[in-house]
Each structure stands twice: as C-alpha cells, then as structure tokens.
C-alpha cells in the first residue's frame, strides 16, 4: 500500500466489502453496494486500480477474479488520518481534535469514551493528568 494513495469515498466503500466478506468478485461488490448503481466495468476498473496501489489482489477462479484485501481497515484508517493531520493541520493533532469537538454533536457517552482514550494514552506514556 502506498502512503500517498488516499482512498476516495467509493474506493473505501469497495474496501468495506472486502473487510466484511474477506473475498469478493466484481459481481459480489455490485450486489453489496446496490445504492451506488455502478457498471460492472466501473467496479472492475476500480479494483484494478486498487490492486496496482497494493490495497487488494486477486486470484483467478475459472473465468472470474476473486479479490481480497491486502490491508486492514485499521491500517487504512491510520494512514488516512495521519495524512489528514499532516496535510491539513500541519501535524497538529490538537487542532484536529478541536475541530472534531467543535463541529460534531457529542453525547455524554462519547465524551466518556474520549476521556477513557486520553487516560489510556497518558497511562501508556507514563504521564499523569
């Protein structure tokens, strides 16, 4: 997987099919994403590009190609967030967090989870709040 290859929303949706199913054909992707109304050739082209970028690979089964992900959802999420922080926020994670907190509607349960995550980060780094 190339670090410079940010996935588009459609590519992420296709990758989601593989993260849920492990393997899929072009027809399986079309079935899994009916709201996208894509042509078979469009999916085949997107899968070919994803394969060239190192996100998926395929094996032939008869006349079909059976694709599977080479990277996990977590790896893609980490890479895309890291690229976002670097490119948009110049590496300043606190600006990203501030933006998220100011733009999103956050309920009490989410605030509790964020505090727990911050506590884990502090514990792992040996810092105290």
Please indicate, yes or no, if residue 41 is contained in any of the structural domains.
yes
Q: Specify whether 19 is located in the same domain as 47.
A: yes
Can you give the pTM of this predicted structure? 0.76
Please indicate, yes or no, if residue 52 is contained in any of the structural domains.
yes
Q: Is the pLDDT of residue 29 over 90?
A: yes
In this predicted structure, what is the pLDDT of residue 129? 44
- If one counts the domains in the chain, the total is 2
Long-range contacts of the stretch 84-88 (C-beta < 8 A, 24+):
none
60, 54 contact by CB (below 8 A):
no
How many helices (H) and strands (E) are present in the chain, helices listed first?
6, 3
Please indicate, yes or no, if residue 78 is contained in any of the structural domains.
no
In this predicted structure, what is the pLDDT of residue 1? 59
Q: Specify whether 16 is located in the same domain as 57.
A: yes
Tokens of 93: 């994670």
Q: Is the pLDDT of residue 42 over 70?
A: yes
CA distances from 110 to 85, 105, 118, 121, 122 (A): 21, 10, 12, 17, 18
pLDDT-based confidence at residue 121 (cuts at 50, 70, 90) = confident
Q: Specify whether 64 is located in the same domain as 20.
A: yes
In the predicted model, what is the mean pLDDT of residues 34-58?
A: 95
In the predicted model, what is the mean pLDDT of residues 56-79?
A: 95
Please indicate, yes or no, if residue 84 is contained in any of the structural domains.
no
């Amino acid at each position: 997987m190339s670090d410079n290859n940010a996935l588009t929303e459609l590519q992420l949706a296709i990758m989601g099919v593989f993260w849920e199913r492990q393997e899929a054909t072009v027809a399986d992707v079309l079935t899994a994403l009916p709201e996208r109304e894509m042509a078979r050739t469009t999916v085949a082209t997107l899968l070919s590009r994803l394969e060239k970028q190192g996100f998926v690979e395929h094996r032939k089964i008869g006349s079909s190609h059976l694709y599977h992900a080479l990277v996990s959802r977590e790896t893609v999420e980490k890479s895309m967030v890291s690229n976002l922080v670097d490119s948009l926020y110049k590496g300043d994670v606190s600006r990203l967090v501030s933006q998220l907190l100011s733009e999103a509607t956050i309920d009490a349960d989410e605030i509790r989870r964020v505090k727990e995550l911050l506590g884990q980060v502090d514990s792992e780094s040996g810092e105290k709040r």
